[in-house]
Amino acid sequence: MKDKVKGTFGKQIILKGDCWMSDKKKTWDDKLNPLYFPLLTAFPIGGWLLFKSPPMTGVEITLHIITFLFLIFSGTVETYSEEAKQQVFGYIYLLSALIFGGISLFRWLI
């Protein structure tokens, strides 16, 4: 049930349940959830680096370390959230950081 109410400065305000929302258009921030940002950045880079041929240069090792640290940081931030979905993604990010870090260290040492 939506009731339109005239708000201040002539803006339409929509009453939806217990919260008030202005009837503005959705921006890119509403469509792109920052929770999924590591899925779009760190996972493809980490996967590409894991399947690359073994002679690793200094840039590739640095990229491994940055990907590993980014997954640890985002996983730690998400696990301290109160929502269950964000905690699950946080643990997925931490587990993937452990897997990416272990495999890349093993490949680098061989």
Nearest-angstrom CA–CA distance, 71 and 26? 29
Residues 67, 105, single domain; the answer is yes
Residues 38, 16, single domain; the answer is no
CA-based nearest residue to 94, from 108, 109, 80: 80
Enclosing domain of residue 1: 1-27
Residues 22, 39, single domain; the answer is no
The two counts, helices (H) then strands (E), for the chain are 4, 3
Residues 46, 83, single domain; the answer is yes
pTM: 0.68
Residues 11, 40, single domain; the answer is no
Q: Whose structure tokens read 């002539």? A: 10
Q: What is the pLDDT of residue 109?
A: 82
For 33, phi then psi, to 5°, come to -85, 125
CB 88 within 8 A of CB 36: no
Question: pLDDT tens for residues 12-67?
Answer: 555 555 455 555 556 666 666 778 888 888 889 888 888 888 788 888 888 889 99
Residues 37, 56, single domain; the answer is yes
Residues 17, 43, single domain; the answer is no
Overall number of domains in the chain: 2
Nearest-angstrom CA–CA distance, 98 and 43? 13
Residues 39, 17, single domain; the answer is no
Q: What is the pLDDT of residue 9?
A: 56
For 25, phi then psi, to 5°, come to -75, 150
Residues 52, 20, single domain; the answer is no
